[in-house]
Chain A
């Protein structure tokens, strides 16, 4: 039969993958799992590693995505301003004043991360996990972004950036590290449409909070220290008015054993990330095996930036 999966080589079959019997046409466990995934319309648009750690379709709710609240002690006033501006993510059906509900990638609802209407305003939504196997993980998601449609013009330079990050820490060990790879698509800056990917390998210094000596903070999304990803320019489909959106695919591979990125893909472009240093700092006493994933948005004008995500698949290579 044309298109029969049994006759197609699997792109990621490892030498050790067990075959039940290739001569008889029986399939390997990997092929069966892949066929099942491809027959599921929700998962078929993803290419996960062997274990799916989390699959979040926002038609099912928030799925564990919440706002990034800053650290504080005794009073909320001690929270750094960068964190104080953050607000709750929303479930959005992408409703527009001129054309009604747009809907999400697949279904009605997407996760919406909305900034305040100020130039430089940021907002962050995250999911907090820990990891059980320090090995390769893959983050895949579909996203789109727009400014709030307050003007009857394209407004393509009103969104400064959208991006994602991991906040990771090694398992408990002497000399452990906290590692924070940051990736953003710098859409525009001061009205210039730049459209390029950037990363960060440095962050602001830690600042102690309060009087008990237990809490520190730093604002790792400060506008400083972003560096261009070599060859990272990319023209994303933006469409022609501020109420039309198109969804984009991202795949980001990272190795929890080496704590270094492997690769980044967005739509039809892919980059080798092995030479990109993440932010690294000494381990903190209470964050062992932390695996946090965050999405963030940043406005470049006094207009809300809206980042939509639908859906997210986090997978890992472990048995």
Chain B
């Protein structure tokens, strides 16, 4: 059988400020993921900001998986991180500095 590979747009044109999180995404069928974070517009100082990958046993309770990725700081910028062994649920969170905001496109490339 050919391996399944799916692109999931998890957050589209969402404006993140302060403590922000993507919607939970259930993808236990996949063995690996690439998290793509694209900036569609930004305000304030985002250079030090990081996004964190989180995992969950039930889609409701979350812990840091350990992977971090740079937050893209201007429109058009794209960052990514590779993740594996993540169980059944993934989400991405960030704590953006006061006064900063980013409009984002968060995409998962998932593969068996």
A residues sitting closer than 8 Å to B (CB atoms) are: 61-62, 67, 69, 76-77, 79, 84, 87-88, 90-93, 95-97, 109, 112, 114, 116, 148-150
Contact = CB atoms under 8 A, between A and B. Distances in A.
Nearest to B25: A90
Contact of B25 (A79, A88, A150): A88
B57 to A, nearest CB: 7
A97 B13 contact: no
Contact of B23 (A61, A87, A93, A95): A87
Interface of B: 4, 6, 8-13, 23-29, 40, 57-61, 88
Of listed A84, A90, A150, residue having the most chain B CB within 10 A? A90
Given A62-B6, A67-B9, A77-B13, A90 B88 contact: no
A67 B8 CA distance: 9
A90 B40 contact: no
A91 B108 CA distance: 14
Contact of A93 (B9, B28, B40): B28
Nearest to A87: B23
A91 B29 contact: yes
Nearest to A67: B9
A148 B23 CA distance: 13
A97 B26 contact: no
13 contacts: A67-B9, A87-B9, A88-B8, A88-B25, A90-B26, A90-B27, A91-B26, A92-B26, A93-B28, A93-B88, A97-B57, A112-B26, A148-B60
A114 B28 CA distance: 16
B96 to A, nearest CB: 20
A61 B60 contact: no
Given A61-B4, A91-B29, A114-B23, A96 B58 contact: yes
A116 B26 contact: no
A62 B7 CA distance: 11
Does more than half of chain A's interface fall in helix, strand or loop, or is it mixed?
loop
Contacts of B12: 69, 76, 84, 87
A95 B10 contact: no
B43 to A, nearest CB: 15
B37 to A, nearest CB: 16
A79 B29 contact: no
A128 B10 CA distance: 20
A109 B60 contact: no
B88 A97 contact: no
A169 B40 CA distance: 35
B60 A79 contact: no
Contacts of A150: 60
Nearest to A90: B26
Given A88-B10, A150-B60, 18 more contacts: A61-B6, A76-B40, A77-B13, A79-B13, A87-B9, A87-B11, A87-B12, A87-B23, A88-B25, A90-B8, A90-B26, A91-B26, A95-B28, A96-B58, A112-B26, A114-B23, A114-B24, A116-B23
Contacts of B11: 87
Given A76-B12, A90-B27, A97 B58 contact: yes
Contacts of A92: 26
Contact of A84 (B4, B6, B13): B13
Contacts of A97: 57-58, 60-61
Contact of A76 (B13, B29, B58): B13
A128 B12 CA distance: 21
Contacts of A61: 4, 6
Contacts of A79: 13
A30 B24 CA distance: 46
Contacts of A149: 58, 60
A96 B58 CA distance: 6
A91 to B, nearest CB: 5
B103 to A, nearest CB: 9
A87 B13 CA distance: 11
With a 10 A CB-CB cut-off, give which of A76, A77, A95 has the most chain B CB atoms. Answer: A95
